[in-house]
Amino acid sequence: MTTLTAAPSHTSHPFGNTTVLANLGVATLVEHALSRGEGHLASNGALACDTGDRTGRSPNDKFLEDTGAIHPHIDWGKVNQPMQPEHFDALHRLATAYLSRKEHLYRFDGFAGADPACRLKVSVFTEEAWHSLFAKTLFINAQPADLKDWRQDWTIINAGSMRLDDPAKYGAKGPVCIAQSLEKRTVVIIGTRYAGEMKKSIFYAMNYDLPDMKVFPMHCSCNVDRKDPANVALFFGLSGTGKTTLSADPNRDLVGDDEHGWSERGVFNMEGGCYAKCIKLSREGEPEIWNAIRFGSVLENTVVDPDTRVPDYDSAAKTENTRVTYPVSFIAHARQPSMAGHPKNVIFLTADAFGVLPPVSKLTHEQAMYYFLNGYTSKLAGTEAGVTEPQPNFSACFGGPFMPRPPMRYAEMLRDRIASHRSDVWLLNTGWTGGPYGTGSRFKLAWTRAFVTAILDGSLSRATWVKHPVFGLSIPTAVAGVPSEVLDPKNTWKDKAAYDAKVKDLAARFRTNDAKFSMSDEVRAAGPCG
């Protein structure tokens, strides 16, 4: 094992005499993880690790410190659950004391935000080497010159291996707690080793900080045409809807797969890496992601053959939410630095478990605001604790779990930008056809890619359109590479009456959900009519 050395002087920390190993290289972190039994190398060179009983995010256990300064700016409720300052401070002390008893810890220092004018400094303290490798892979690494006078904007304290014995004492619900303070600019993670909690906590921070910098934070992926830098595309959507898959295009440069900001200068990636789902991954279907999985990447909860060490991407024995993290530079055609111009096309991705929405439709600006505010999709198996099959779900701004401010604040920023830059907006359904989940089947990836190609090359804008009778969505009558009968979802259902009933059901759910928002009459009228 590599000899442990004390942290450089810039890495002051609150963990007493514990040795903190700061900003170790990839090979060293992998060696530490292997020697400590945190994981093993797969045949492709990736470090394969398990996260224990929590194989997805734990949103019910996420809390935000409620202080007078931030209280008026937060959309309090099921997503943004308040925690009293004394409880946050107690959790902070508890996690710090727990980590202070460790022989050594790991520290990563880096950035969130590829645009130097809109970035935050992040320091991540972990007890496990693989968590530090995750941070090194996912965030933007600081360079030696950056570390000379390092003062982080945000601190993550990851005590994921400990559990709360007395949750009520700390204002928590159970043994797991993710507590975040926008005032103290600190995240405390207790009881879950799922690495995605670190990623999404910093995204949450950016979603609070960036609007005050006049930057629109977005839960989306982004790519740009290799020959035409003005042809920039955004893909909004929750986990499992296709952001990473569809943005990894061999004909386009990848800007980023999940989190971006849209400033007056254009779009920039918040991260330095990608966090892709692995379930059913194949070389033929997703070659860009397949080739990115190698030494320096981290596989989460993926079944690996104990003898051959070959990953079994088809297996969901541990979870449907198998993941891989890799630097964006591992994508063959990644843009460095991860910045682009203003988007020509904005695509909303939804995985409709009802099986009634058209596979592709073009939105008016009023429809864009309506569908953005409602953020309809389906929670897919494994992405959150307790989700074992797709569930219809509304998530404001296609990122509700990560949005501290009221949704209308983000929707207004979307409205202003698509109007200023004349962006076309599309709704792309990557969910079910021929019936709901359990009866129908998911749209073929080849069809979805054909829709994306037609959007990005401009041919779909010239299509002939018909209106959906209930949702009012514009449906093309023909798209190259896709059977015309699948364009109108009703055609794919054997039982037409069952389809009509399901349409009315989903429309009613939209209307129940949109009542939460103070939208204009024009935007509300852009929703379903029945």
Instruction: Give percent helix, percent strand, percent coil of the chain, each to the nearest 5.
Output: 30, 25, 45
Active centre residues (catalytic): 57, 200, 219, 239, 243-244, 258, 323
Neighbour-count burial of 402, counting CB atoms closer than 10 A to its CB (0-12 exposed, 13-18 middle, 19+ buried): buried
* 258's tokens: 């999940």
Sequence-ordered list of residues with C-beta below 8 angstroms from that of 483, at least 6 positions apart, any chain: none
SS (H, E, C) 445-472: HHHHHHHHHHHHCCCHHHCCEEECCCCC
CA distance 391 to 422: 34
Position of tokens 């400094």? 121
Coil vs helix vs strand at 242: coil
Pairing of strands 432-433, 441-442: antiparallel
Cβ-Cβ contacts under 8 Å for 420 (sequence gap 6 or more): none
The rounded distance, in Å, linking the Cα atoms of 136 and 511 is 43
CB atoms within 10 A of CB 379: 21
Question: Are 141 and 271 contacting, i.e. CB atoms less than 8 angstroms apart?
Answer: no
Eight-class DSSP state of 416: H
Q: Give the C-alpha separation, 448 to 249, whole Å.
A: 13
In the numeric block, the tokens 């079944």 are attached to 303
Q: Encoding tokens for residue 488?
A: 């109108």
Listed residue (517, 206, 243) closest to 370, CA to CA: 517
How does DSSP assign 164-197, residue by residue?
-S-GGGGT-SSS-EEEEETTTTEEEEES---THH
Q: Give the end-to-end CA distance of the chain in Å, rounded to a whole number.
A: 65
Beta-bridge partner residues of 266: 263
Pairing of strands 232-236, 216-225: antiparallel
Q: Which two tokens stand for residue 281?
A: 């991954």
Encoded tokens for 339: 């910045």
- What is the number of other CB atoms lying within 10 angstroms of the CB of residue 81? 18
